[in-house]
Structure 1
Amino acid sequence: MAAPWRLGWEPWLLRCVLGFGGRRGPAVLKGAAGWSAGRGASRRWLHSTRRLQADPIKILMPSLSPTMEEGNIVKWLKKEGEAVSAGDALCEIETDKAVVTLDASDDGILARIVQMPGVNVSWDGEGPKQLPFVDISVAVATDRGLITPVIKDAAAKGIQEIADSVKALSKKARDGKLLPEEYQGGSFSISNLGMFGIDEFTSVINPPQACILSVGRFRPVLKLAQDEEGNASLQQHQLIKVTMSSDSRAVDDELATRFLESFKANLENPARLI
């Protein structure tokens, strides 16, 4: 069964900004929000203060004790958008032995927290299967029908790299030059009909994937706003709507709602997307 979810917001940018997790390792780091990260994986991204357009640096979880199998994040000590210096404490982690502090290894700015690996799943016939990589299928219309080239390991890429990949793969799809490995697989799909003037629509899930996100067009709306002195005026904003269809066997209503809330928050705060 597919569960559609709709919401509108006023974004500055529309990019591939899906809040998934990355690779998993032998030790698991569990956060208070219910997400998990393996050793060698990242759930916060650190950008260099000197090169904000560069790809994010992954903050890796070290091995905190020889017997450690998992740890719980007790408290985050830095906020998104906050400047960080090498050696600064990022968070407190409870291991099997003690509560220890994870420190930053470089200077930079915490850009965003990635905390929704639960939607990056497939249904294998017996139950949901957590996928180790975030491979995004992007629907492209061609003269020969619809095809979905895949952005491999999207969680490890920066926005510009993702945008360049989408552009290159879309051209190859329309030219009929995609290789099998460039369109097979995928863990989550995106379909965009905004360029055809469609406000909102619902897409059909691509099994065994559990979710597909449908993106409509930008459209101007008037909104009443107040300045610092309390004077009211009408201002024009851009509104866009998305609909997510999800397989409720793998992604229930509560998880789908939290994912869309996180997606909306990312678009409304472009600093997270740099």
Structure 2
Amino acid sequence: MAASLLGSLRVLRAALSPRKLPLATVPRLSRCRYLSTSQRLLGVAPLKLLMPALSPTMEKGNIVKWLKKEGEIINVGDALCEIETDKAVVTLDSSDDGVLAKIMVEEGAKDVILGSLIALIVAEGEDWKQVEIPAQTAAPSPPQTLSAPMQATAPQAPVPSKVQHATSKREIRFSPAARQILETHALDPSSTAPTGPRGIFTKEDALNMLKQKDDKTLPGTTASAPVKSTQATSSTPRPSIPPVSIPGQPFAPGTFTEIPASNIRQVIARRLTESKNTIPHSYASIDCNIEEVLKMRKQLAKDDIRISVNDFIIKAVAVTLKQMPDVNCTWSSEGPHQLNSIDIAVAVATERGLMTPIVRDAAAKGIEEISIMVKALAKKAKAGKLLPEEYQGGSFSVSNLGMFGISGFSAVINPPQACILAIGQSRQDLTVSEDDKGNPSLCQKDMVTVTLSSDGRMVDDELASQFLENFRLNLENPKRLALF
């Protein structure tokens, strides 16, 4: 019995013990380089590079330029391509190592939707020429409203008879009197050739059509239903005349040149419209004496320190916001939010539109440091190389048009910020001043007009007036700026 039980255990142990494979059947380590990725081992699917969201408001982008070619080795951090977003032109860096196998979207492509496939990457060592190109999936169609199926199946109602401007290949021009007669009596002008100069449909042509219609409907005659024709019955070619736009109607083809709007221009237009439609703008102006600022500039220039008046203004704004934190706020759906950091957005004019790079924590920086940052940011903005973190956010904006000869203006608030300060050109004003003995005399002073545009929901008129007064004191006494 014991011998039988021992034999059974030996048989069971042999069945459960792992079998040793011959050495020839064990793959070498060099063959298992991509063993952890079954797709790469089987050569099925490469790594897909999709259009990324490079800004919070980006919905689509343009491929400006590819910086790598097909078959070129790429490493983590290498620049792959330049993408134009709704804010700037951003360089897309690689987050993987490998080989750029296939470029799916060529340079110059416009309005590439987020998530679209733009390139394929394979692992280094694989045959990139034999990359498997995945089937392109159609972009999701926009959602239809509940009434869409009804509109698709229901017959369309007859359109009231109006004067048609493009019922044929030729463009018909009407005199005002002819237009009134045609629309009043529901006449179709396409069946009658105009007789006016330069092919104008005149009042007489309309009256003749009306008379012909009345003759057909006299007693004893059979009136036939009018049949609208989409082509003129006259085969006589009309002379070539320039198209003319009609008041109250869309511009006629040929009277304008369509200019394609870039993504940046579209975003600027949308945000400006949103700002003027949703923000109750309030405006207040004040004149500031910048004589002390100009004197300090000259002294710094002797030490080869180049500071602009705008740099002093940015510092004065930051110091004033530190003194009045109630103005350093933004608006959200929940109401105003007071910010902890003072970040000044500086308006910079570029070929792509107005950009607003941001000087972070401006109150804690010196004027020379602010000057260096503004110059660097302005250069990147004009080259379209701003990073998202360099233009997103901000608690207050400054726009200076003084260098263009503008004496004063009112700027549009950049939402969700509460204020924007518009700076005009410096000028010399004659003013009356008194000496120590009280004797009046005329003197010239260098003045500049600044205008504050404020959001009435957060900054009322009293708070705006206090801000401008404190700003004037800080700017007129630049030595105070060094205390903050």
Which residue of the partner structure matches residue 248 of structure 1?
456
Percent identity (aligned):
57
The one of 284, 290, 304 equivalent to 1:5 is: 284
- Offset at 1:158? 1.4
CA contact 2:288–2:450 (8 Å) conserved in 1: no
Report which of the two has the higher share of strand.
Answer: 1
Q: Structure 2: how far apart are the matches of 1:21 and 1:142?
A: 29
SS in structure 2 at match of 1:204: coil
Residues 137, 19 of structure 1: alpha-carbon distance in 2 compared, 3 angstrom cutoff: closer
Contact 2:318 2:342 (C-alpha < 8 Å) held by counterparts: no
Report the Cα offset of residue 21 of structure 1: 8.0
Q: For residues 43-64 of structure 1, give each alpha carbon's deviation from its aligned partner in whole angstroms, at most 9, with x where no partner exists.
A: xxxxxxxxxxxxxxxxxxxxxx
* Equivalent residue for 1:215, pick from 423, 448, 456: 423
Are 2:358 and 2:394, in contact at CA under 8 Å, matched by a contact in 1?
yes
**Secondary structure at 2:282 match in 1:** coil
Task: Identify which of 202, 216, 222 aligns with 2:410.
Answer: 202
Indicate whether 1:139 and 2:347 are aligned.
yes
Deviation string 1:132-155 (CA, Å, 9 cap, x unpaired) is 211111000011110000001112
Is 2:458 the partner of 1:159? no
What secondary structure does 1:249 align onto?
Answer: coil
Q: What letter matches 1:9 in structure 2?
A: C
Deviations 1:106-130 (A, max 9, x none): xxxxxxxx41111110001221001
Higher mean displacement: 255-264 or 168-177:
168-177
User: Which has a greater percent of helix?
Assistant: 2
Give 2:423's aligned amino acid.
Answer: V
**TM-score with structure 2 length normalisation?**
0.37
Change (3 A) 1:126 1:20: farther
Measure how far apart 1:255 and its partner are: 1.1
Q: SS of the counterpart of 2:285?
A: strand
Instruction: Rate the CA distance shift 1:272–1:175 in 2: closer, same or farther, 3 A.
Output: same
Q: Who is 2:383 aligned against?
A: 175
Cα 1:225–1:21 shift into 2, 3 Å: closer
Tell me by how many angstroms 1:214 deviates: 0.5
SS in 2 for 1:134: coil
Alignment of 1:1-274 (within 5 A): 1-11=280-290, 12-13=292-293, 14=309, 15=312, 16=314, 17-19=316-318, 114-274=322-482
Structure 2: distance between partners of 1:189 and 1:150: 9
TM-score, normalisation: structure 1: 0.64
> After superposition, what is the alpha-carbon deviation per residue over 1:55-77, rounded to whole angstroms, capped at 9, x for unaligned?
xxxxxxxxxxxxxxxxxxxxxxx
Asked if the contact 2:317/2:471 (under 8 Å) is kept, the reply is: yes
Hey, what's the Cα distance between the residues in 2 that align with 1:3 and 1:127?
18
| Greater RCO (CA < 8 Å, at least 6 residues apart) | 1
Matches of 1:138 and 1:253, distance apart in 2? 24
Q: CA deviation at 1:172?
A: 1.3
Unpaired segments ≥5 residues, structure 2: 1-279, 294-308
SS of structure 2 residue aligned to 1:18:
helix
Runs of 4+ aligned structure 1 residues displaced above 6 Å come to none
Partner Cα separation in structure 2 for residue 206 and residue 172 of structure 1: 20
* Alignment check: 8 A CA contact 2:377 2:386 kept: yes
Q: CA deviation at 1:236?
A: 1.2
What residue ranges of structure 1 are gaps of 5+ in the alignment? 23-113
CA contact 1:20–1:119 (8 Å) conserved in 2: no
Cα RMSD (Å):
1.6
* Partner SS state of residue 5, structure 1: strand
What is the alpha-carbon distance in structure 1 between the residues aligned to residue 421 and residue 430 of structure 2? 26
Secondary structure at the counterpart of residue 189 of structure 1? strand
- AA aligned to 2:400 is N
Structure label with greater radius of gyration: 2
Maintained 8 Å contact 2:408/2:450: yes
